[in-house]
Amino acid sequence: MNVPLRSVLIVSCLLAGRLLAANQPNVLFIAIDDQNDWIGALGGHSQAKTPNIDGLAKSGTLFANAHCQAPLCNPSRSSLLTGLRPSTTGIYGLAPGIRDVERTKNHVTLPQTFTSAGYFTYACGKIYHDGSFKPKDRGAEFNEWGPSPGPGRPPKPFANLPEPRHPAMDWGPWPARDEDHGDYKIATAAIEALQRAPQDKPFFVACGFRLPHVPCYAPQKWFDLYPDATLKLPPMLEGDRQDTPRFSWYLHWKLPEPRLQTLRERGELRPLVRAYLASTSFMDAQVGRVLAALEASGRAKDTVIVLWSDHGYHLGEKEISGKNTLWDRSTHVPLVFAGPGVSAGAVSRRPVELLDIFPTLLDLTGMPARSDLDGISLRPQLRRADAPRERPAITTHNHDNHTIRTERWRYIKYANGAEELYDVQVDPNEWKNLAGDAAFTATKTALAKWLPKVNAKPAPGSANRILTYDPVTEEVIWEGKPVGKNDPIPMF
């Protein structure tokens, strides 16, 4: 009789849980939405004020070269929580959810692994992508699902943008009090879960903040940290896209996020940058509240903490705002581990992936290793930050578009064969595409060896932000509509 792998894994975890759960480390799992490297400890923006995340980094190990598997919420989170690459599952868009995909419908996820092992498991805020889990499937993931409020809405939008706009495309000082913001309420829910977590078993508490995802709302006092008169904009190069392939535009052909041209024309670039920084600082304060509650619980010394963001965010760089690209601003994310088994005050510059969180947490908590995961445990780097790393970081956006990130290089290969190559040690802003220079042919060949060998087509039901390319007809389809070779690039 053939027994499904999912059933075998659940039984294994249950047996392991009965033997080990009582003295296993706890896990505090903190997710951030759309957070790029504008974190004090990462130095992505010189004015970023994030004392709580910086303090967590000092108490543990900061991965300064961590990258997402996909620069979009659903595929990124689905990848992290299943431990499988988007190119393995075919999950590239905002739909479908993992239980609606053949490859992952029976796959045992990260939270399910801990739930099955006897942990008290709790989630609040945004952990999985909103709406990706049907109510009938939730019980197997976490023992409890707490509140997941959004930021709310002011009476009218702040941002001066063309109409009609997506309701999330806004930024400004709102609400008046911290306590009225959704992220404050999410932190409160996590705090309450930590306070009432059973003492006779370990806990896995997942807390997912929504900021700095748009709409970038935060109370006025957080905007006051970044006076407009002294605000620094990110470095931008005029004509930056002149040496990038046209195919790079197809990855974000038409999106709700405004392009740089629109932000400048409407006088919204500085307000957006300021609001993003303010939102980041407000979110950081909520992280601080949760960390303080963990300390007050008396269980901090027995708790592994991991903090991560699902992907980065452009604020004018490469002539866009938003994500959906294969450049550093979109793939580079904060990743911090702290707690038992983790070196304190360490910074690792090895290229790592969000995929690695799943096997690392199994390793740190003494759970059985899994052979069905695409990631690699970071335990060696958590012991010694400069420990060798077997492979680079790989990010995928839609079918057969990949980027390879090492300590020195970023190589991009698009579905139509177009390429980009950047020496990020001398060109950290990725302004000079070296792919056309014959002197770097060997470098490209070496990096291309890491491109995924499995490239699943979009899973049935794929929708929103989906790009497909037919190599025979060279037809490009963006969200169900063909894009002509000479169609003007949308600049709004």
Catalytic residues: 73, 129
Half-sphere exposure of 276 (CA within 13 A, CB side): 30
In this structure, what are the phi and psi dihedrals at residue 482, rounded to the nearest 5 degrees? -70, 145
Residue with tokens 């190559």: 421
Cβ(109)–Cβ(82) below 8 Å: yes
DSSP annotation of 367 reads P
Cβ(291)–Cβ(283) below 8 Å: no
Closest CA relative to residue 126, chosen from 269, 310, 302, 273? 310
Q: What's the rounded Cα separation, in Å, for the pair 200 and 10?
A: 21
CB atoms within 10 A of CB 254: 12
Is beta strand 66-67 parallel, antiparallel or unpaired with respect to 61-63? unpaired
**Which residue spans within 168-202 are E strands per DSSP?**
171-173
**Position 469, amino acid:** Y
DSSP annotation of 84 reads -
Q: What's the rounded Cα separation, in Å, for the pair 177 and 172?
A: 14
Q: What's the rounded Cα separation, in Å, for the pair 159 and 169?
A: 8
